[in-house]
Amino acid sequence: MTTLSERLVDIGLDEALIMDGFDDCAIGYLQRYGTEPVVIYDRELVIKKLMELAPEGTREDAVEYYEFNQLGGWHGDLTPGFLVRLPDDES
């Protein structure tokens, strides 16, 4: 099985930063004019993964960890981003 890092190298994104252990939570990359592409992770998949890694913890613990350590971590312009899905339109 090919790692996320290997897949990114294959498409020319060898400088992109990734989160170790969260390959299965990566859903793509963001292209935007004037910036280098960044890897995008699905926020909910990341939180679920954190809950699996610490089964004694609560969802709130996982969200707190995510917000402080992953969302709150800045490693330069190639820092990964997180997709937060819009709520369903109930109207």
Q: pLDDT at residue 12 above 90?
A: yes
Q: For 32-58, what is the mean pLDDT?
A: 95
Please state, in angstroms and rounded to a whole number, the distance separating the CA atoms of residues 13 and 41.
Answer: 15
- Rounded percentage of the chain residues whose pLDDT exceeds 70: 99
Residue type, 5: S
Q: pLDDT at residue 55 above 90?
A: no
The pLDDT, as a whole number, for residue 80 is: 97
Please state, in angstroms and rounded to a whole number, the distance separating the CA atoms of residues 14 and 88.
Answer: 35
Sign of CA pseudo-dihedral 27, 66, 84, 38: negative
How does DSSP assign 2-67, residue by residue?
--HHHHHHHTT-TT----TT-GGGEEEEE--TTS--EEEEEHHHHHHHHHHHSTTS-HHHHHHHII
What ranges do the domains of the chain cover?
Answer: 4-83
pLDDT digits (tens, 9 = 90+) for 64-82: 999 999 999 999 999 999 9
Q: pLDDT at residue 91 above 70?
A: no
Element (H, E) at 81: strand 81-83
